[in-house]
Amino acid sequence: MQHTHSQDTLVGLFVAASITGLFFLAMQVSNLSSFGSEDTYKVTARFSNSGGLKVKSPVSVAGVRIGRVSAISFDKETFESVVEMSIESRYDTIPEDTSATIYTAGLLGEQYINLQPGGSDEHLENGGQIEITQSAIVLEEVIGKYLFNKTEEKK
Protein backbone atom coordinates (compact mmCIF):
# COMPACT_ATOMS: atom_id res chain seq x y z
CA MET A 1 0.00 0.00 0.00
CA GLN A 2 1.37 3.38 -0.99
CA HIS A 3 1.52 6.41 1.28
CA THR A 4 0.12 9.57 -0.20
CA HIS A 5 0.51 13.15 0.87
CA SER A 6 -3.17 13.31 1.86
CA GLN A 7 -2.74 10.31 4.20
CA ASP A 8 0.34 11.87 5.77
CA THR A 9 -1.49 15.16 6.21
CA LEU A 10 -4.49 13.47 7.83
CA VAL A 11 -2.28 11.52 10.23
CA GLY A 12 -0.41 14.73 11.12
CA LEU A 13 -3.66 16.60 11.76
CA PHE A 14 -4.95 13.73 13.91
CA VAL A 15 -1.76 13.72 16.01
CA ALA A 16 -1.86 17.52 16.40
CA ALA A 17 -5.54 17.43 17.44
CA SER A 18 -4.81 14.63 19.92
CA ILE A 19 -1.95 16.56 21.53
CA THR A 20 -4.10 19.70 21.75
CA GLY A 21 -6.94 17.71 23.32
CA LEU A 22 -4.61 16.14 25.89
CA PHE A 23 -3.21 19.58 26.74
CA PHE A 24 -6.66 21.03 27.43
CA LEU A 25 -7.67 17.94 29.39
CA ALA A 26 -4.55 18.29 31.56
CA MET A 27 -5.33 21.98 32.13
CA GLN A 28 -8.90 21.16 33.16
CA VAL A 29 -7.83 18.41 35.58
CA SER A 30 -5.15 20.59 37.19
CA ASN A 31 -7.52 23.57 37.73
CA LEU A 32 -5.38 25.79 35.51
CA SER A 33 -7.98 26.24 32.78
CA SER A 34 -8.67 29.92 33.51
CA PHE A 35 -5.98 31.76 31.59
CA GLY A 36 -7.26 35.32 31.73
CA SER A 37 -7.56 37.50 34.77
CA GLU A 38 -11.29 37.65 35.43
CA ASP A 39 -12.86 40.55 37.29
CA THR A 40 -12.86 39.34 40.91
CA TYR A 41 -12.98 40.55 44.47
CA LYS A 42 -11.07 39.11 47.44
CA VAL A 43 -12.63 37.60 50.56
CA THR A 44 -10.81 35.86 53.44
CA ALA A 45 -11.79 33.16 55.90
CA ARG A 46 -9.93 31.67 58.88
CA PHE A 47 -9.88 27.94 59.55
CA SER A 48 -8.33 26.00 62.43
CA ASN A 49 -7.34 23.35 59.85
CA SER A 50 -7.37 23.86 56.09
CA GLY A 51 -6.54 20.19 55.45
CA GLY A 52 -5.43 19.50 51.88
CA LEU A 53 -6.90 22.69 50.45
CA LYS A 54 -4.70 24.16 47.71
CA VAL A 55 -4.35 27.41 45.83
CA LYS A 56 -6.73 27.32 42.83
CA SER A 57 -9.15 24.98 44.64
CA PRO A 58 -12.76 25.79 43.71
CA VAL A 59 -15.07 27.97 45.80
CA SER A 60 -18.71 27.10 45.24
CA VAL A 61 -22.24 27.98 46.30
CA ALA A 62 -25.03 25.43 45.74
CA GLY A 63 -22.70 23.36 43.58
CA VAL A 64 -21.80 26.24 41.25
CA ARG A 65 -18.17 27.37 41.08
CA ILE A 66 -18.08 31.10 41.81
CA GLY A 67 -14.36 31.53 42.42
CA ARG A 68 -11.08 29.98 43.43
CA VAL A 69 -8.73 29.95 46.41
CA SER A 70 -6.04 32.54 45.62
CA ALA A 71 -3.76 32.21 48.68
CA ILE A 72 -3.33 30.21 51.88
CA SER A 73 -1.22 31.53 54.74
CA PHE A 74 -0.59 30.90 58.42
CA ASP A 75 -1.35 33.44 61.14
CA LYS A 76 1.45 33.17 63.71
CA GLU A 77 -0.56 34.89 66.43
CA THR A 78 -3.84 32.94 66.27
CA PHE A 79 -2.33 29.73 64.80
CA GLU A 80 -5.01 29.62 62.14
CA SER A 81 -4.98 29.06 58.42
CA VAL A 82 -5.98 32.21 56.53
CA VAL A 83 -7.55 31.41 53.16
CA GLU A 84 -7.98 34.15 50.58
CA MET A 85 -10.61 33.56 47.90
CA SER A 86 -11.11 35.33 44.57
CA ILE A 87 -14.83 35.54 43.88
CA GLU A 88 -16.08 36.49 40.41
CA SER A 89 -17.57 39.99 40.46
CA ARG A 90 -20.84 38.85 38.93
CA TYR A 91 -21.51 37.10 42.26
CA ASP A 92 -21.46 40.30 44.31
CA THR A 93 -24.67 39.63 46.27
CA ILE A 94 -23.30 37.05 48.70
CA PRO A 95 -24.66 37.90 52.18
CA GLU A 96 -22.24 39.14 54.83
CA ASP A 97 -23.19 36.34 57.28
CA THR A 98 -22.30 33.55 54.84
CA SER A 99 -20.52 30.51 56.29
CA ALA A 100 -17.58 28.66 54.68
CA THR A 101 -16.91 24.93 54.98
CA ILE A 102 -14.08 22.85 53.53
CA TYR A 103 -15.41 19.72 51.83
CA THR A 104 -13.83 16.82 49.97
CA ALA A 105 -15.04 16.07 46.44
CA GLY A 106 -14.98 12.69 44.80
CA LEU A 107 -12.81 9.66 45.32
CA LEU A 108 -9.54 11.48 44.66
CA GLY A 109 -10.09 13.71 47.67
CA GLU A 110 -9.80 17.13 46.06
CA GLN A 111 -10.87 19.68 48.63
CA TYR A 112 -12.91 22.79 47.94
CA ILE A 113 -14.69 25.55 49.86
CA ASN A 114 -18.47 25.59 49.92
CA LEU A 115 -20.19 28.81 50.91
CA GLN A 116 -23.59 28.64 52.60
CA PRO A 117 -25.34 32.01 52.20
CA GLY A 118 -26.86 33.63 55.27
CA GLY A 119 -29.80 35.99 55.48
CA SER A 120 -28.13 39.38 55.90
CA ASP A 121 -29.08 42.33 53.70
CA GLU A 122 -25.43 43.44 53.67
CA HIS A 123 -23.12 41.85 51.08
CA LEU A 124 -19.50 40.69 51.17
CA GLU A 125 -17.22 43.25 49.58
CA ASN A 126 -13.61 43.33 48.43
CA GLY A 127 -11.42 42.70 51.48
CA GLY A 128 -14.31 41.26 53.50
CA GLN A 129 -14.00 38.34 55.88
CA ILE A 130 -16.24 35.32 56.37
CA GLU A 131 -16.59 34.88 60.12
CA ILE A 132 -18.43 31.54 60.33
CA THR A 133 -16.17 28.69 59.20
CA GLN A 134 -15.92 24.93 59.56
CA SER A 135 -12.53 23.31 59.06
CA ALA A 136 -11.70 20.32 56.94
CA ILE A 137 -12.45 16.91 58.38
CA VAL A 138 -9.22 14.95 58.65
CA LEU A 139 -10.05 11.30 58.10
CA GLU A 140 -7.15 10.08 60.24
CA GLU A 141 -8.44 12.05 63.25
CA VAL A 142 -11.96 10.65 62.85
CA ILE A 143 -10.68 7.08 62.63
CA GLY A 144 -8.37 7.64 65.61
CA LYS A 145 -11.20 8.98 67.77
CA TYR A 146 -13.44 6.08 66.77
CA LEU A 147 -10.79 3.49 67.61
CA PHE A 148 -9.94 5.23 70.89
CA ASN A 149 -13.62 5.28 71.90
CA LYS A 150 -13.97 1.58 71.04
CA THR A 151 -10.99 0.64 73.24
CA GLU A 152 -12.37 2.76 76.10
CA GLU A 153 -15.74 0.99 75.87
CA LYS A 154 -14.07 -2.42 76.29
CA LYS A 155 -12.42 -1.45 79.57
Predicted confidence (pLDDT) per residue in 56-99, tens digit: 999 999 989 999 999 999 999 999 999 999 999 999 899 999 99
Task: Check residue 30 and give its pLDDT.
Answer: 66
Ranking 56-70, 80-94, 100-114, 137-151 by mean pLDDT, the lowest is 137-151
pTM of the model: 0.68
Listed by start position, the domains of the chain span 1-30, 40-143
Mean pLDDT of the chain: 84
Q: What's the CA gap between 62 and 50, in Å, rounded? A: 21
Contact 99, 118 (CB under 8 A): yes
